[in-house]
Structure 1
């Protein structure tokens, strides 16, 4: 996700307007608007400020993490389906202290597990991928 889209997404997740974000960060509403429209790129100090404000790292803001490959995505999907099949037994869910009551609960559980598995895969790839193979902009 490009910086401008990520900034808007993070702002909306906090339920803030551009003006409110500007007041809370000391930036101008105009600057926030230009960042979100992609008409201006922030300086390093502004990136640091926004990363701290949203409690994310700068790689998240700039989407410079190691991307997942189609093979990674297939492996996650396969692992997720196996995990959900294992959880379908009432004994498995009872051991975890609950049950999946309906399809909506199952979909929420699936989405949560998938997001967690993707994040874990990205963290592992970032940790174990040599720097020379990373696709970071210098």
Structure 2
């Protein structure tokens, strides 16, 4: 997949028009057209702006071997959120987990039932962690208020 095809596919995956992407990035619509349709490679600054706006990595845009845009967009968004919430160390740990899970599915001998069990277990851990975090990090004054509001219903 070419640079232009990746830009277009990522833009469409985010339901953005060229006009909207131009507004997000500060890059002219004409330039976006040449990137997508003519395969022109922009300057480094514009590549960075596009990657940021489309929630993909610069490496992804420049690597001719990458072809799965949606999974790359999802992964980059997940890592950005992990970095925002937990810092660089949390993002690094999240990336390591993604790598291990990816390896498990790419080269592992898991059938569809085993994959379903894995995802159910992962979801249970996520929901449990979310509940524990809410109880641990929500200030008591808000927890009491919430309990009172629920008992009034």
TM-score calculated relative to the size of structure 2: 0.46
Alignment of 1:45-124 (within 5 A): 45-63=45-63, 76=106, 79=108, 82-84=109-111, 87=114, 93=117, 96=120
Point out the structure with max Rg over C-alpha. Answer: 2
Counterpart in the other structure of 2:25: 25
The answer to which structure, 1 or 2, has the higher relative contact order (CA under 8 A, 6+ apart) is 1
TM-score calculated relative to the size of structure 1: 0.50
CA RMSD of aligned residues (A): 3.4
Contact 1:6 1:61 in 2 (8 A): yes
Matched residue count: 85
Higher helix share: 2
Unaligned runs of 5+ in 2: 67-104, 122-153
Contact 2:48 2:58 in 1 (8 A): yes
Counterpart in the other structure of 2:8: 8
* Shift in CA distance, 84/40, structure 1 to aligned 2, threshold 3 Å: same
* Shift in CA distance, 93/30, structure 1 to aligned 2, threshold 3 Å: same
Q: What does the per-residue CA deviation read over 1:7-66, in whole Å, with 9 as the maximum and x for residues that have no partner?
A: 001100110111111111111111111100125220111011111212222110111669
Unaligned runs of 5+ in 1: 67-74, 98-138
